[in-house]
Amino acid sequence: QSALTQPASVSGSPGQSITISCSGTSSDVGGYNYVSWYQQNPGKAPKLMIYDVTNRPSGVSNRFSGSKSGNTASLTISGLQAEDEADYYCSSYTSSRLVVFGGGTKLTVL
Amino acid sequence: EVQLVESGGGLVQPGGSLRLSCAASGFTFSSNYMSWVRQAPGKGLEWVSVIYDSGSTYYADSVKGRFTISRDNSKNTLYLQMHSLRAEDTAVYYCATSGYSSGWPNFDYWGRGTLVTVSS
C-alpha cells in the first residue's frame, strides 16, 4: 500500500487559515469516510484531531475542521495560533482492511 | 484514565528478533481493536498491524510474514513479535487504540513508544 500524499510543508501567519491536503485513491480516501488527522509535536506521541473525515474528538478546538472531496481529504485550521505549529498526518482505512498514513506536513506559524 | 505503556525495545542485530509489549489500563482492553504504529527517526508515521477484539489480525505489507501481533486479555497486554529484523525496521514503536466515540480505525490513545534499533 502506498502512503497518502501530503505537502511537505505549509505556513501561515497568526490569525490566518491554512489547509493541508491529503490525496489518496478510491481504495482508501475516496472509498471510505474513515480519514483521520493527527497532530504531532517533537518528541511526543501523535494526537487525534479529526476522525471520520469531519468529526472532532472532545477537547479539540473548533478551529480545526476536516472535509473530503473525491480522493482528497483536507484539514483546515482557522485563526492560526503559534501553538498550532507541529507536524500533521492524515490516515485512511483501505480496501485491504489496513490503515495508511500520509507522509506528514510540517506547519510553520510565521 | 487510559494508559498504554510500551516496553521491550532495544538494540538488535540484523536478522534478529525482539518482542514488544504494551500494558493497557483504564478501558476494557478485551473489547478494543489494538494497533502498532511506528516512526523511523526523523520520518513519518507508518501503521504496522492491528488485532481485533475477535483476534483477527492484519499487517502492513512491509512487515507481513515477519511480525506477529497478539494479545493477552487476561493480562491486558498487547504484543508484537518481530523476526528477521532489518535496518529499516529501526523506529519508535507506538501502541495505539481508539476511544469509545471514535472507534476503529481512529487512534485516540497512544503510548509513549519504545525505540527499536536494528544495527550491527
B contacts of A56 (beta carbons < 8 Å): none
Mean pLDDT for the stretch of residues B70-90: 98
Distance CA B23, CA B95 (A): 9
Choosing among B22, B43, B106, B115, which should be mutated to test the A contact, i.e. which has the most A CBs within 10 A?
Answer: B106
Give pLDDT < 50 ranges for chain A. none
Q: Look at B60 and A104 and tell me if their CB atoms are within 8 Å.
A: no
DSSP 8-state symbol, A56: P
pLDDT tens digits for range A12-24 = 999 999 999 999 9
Q: Does A91 touch chain B (CB under 8 A)?
A: yes
The SS3 call for residue B89 is: helix
- What residues of chain A lie within 8 A of the CB of B94, using their CB? 45-46
**pLDDT in the model for residue B102:** 86
- Rounded to 10 degrees, what is the CA torsion of A74, A40, B36, B46? 60
Q: What percent of chain B has pLDDT over 70?
A: 100
Q: Which of A3, A34, A104 sits opposite B105 (nearest CB)?
A: A34
Tell me how close the Cα of B114 comes to any Cα of chain A, in angstroms. 11
Give the pLDDT band of residue B80 (cuts 50, 70, 90).
Answer: very high
Return d(Cα B107, Cα A28) in angstroms, integer.
17
Those of residues 49-78 in A touching chain B at CB distance below 8 A are 51-52, 55, 57-58
pLDDT at residue B70, rounded to an integer: 98
Closest-CA residue of chain A to B94: A45
What is the Cα–Cα distance from A75 to B86, expressed in whole angstroms? 34
Sign of CA dihedral B5, A38, B10, B62: positive
* Contacting residues of B for A48, CB less than 8 Å apart: 99, 102, 106-108
CB A109 within 8 A of CB A11: yes
Integer Cα distance of B60 and B2 in angstroms = 26
Of the candidates B22, B115, B117, the one whose C-alpha atom is nearest the C-alpha of residue B76 is: B22
Give tens-digit pLDDT for B42-51. 999 999 999 9
Average pLDDT estimate for B80-95: 98
DSSP B88: G
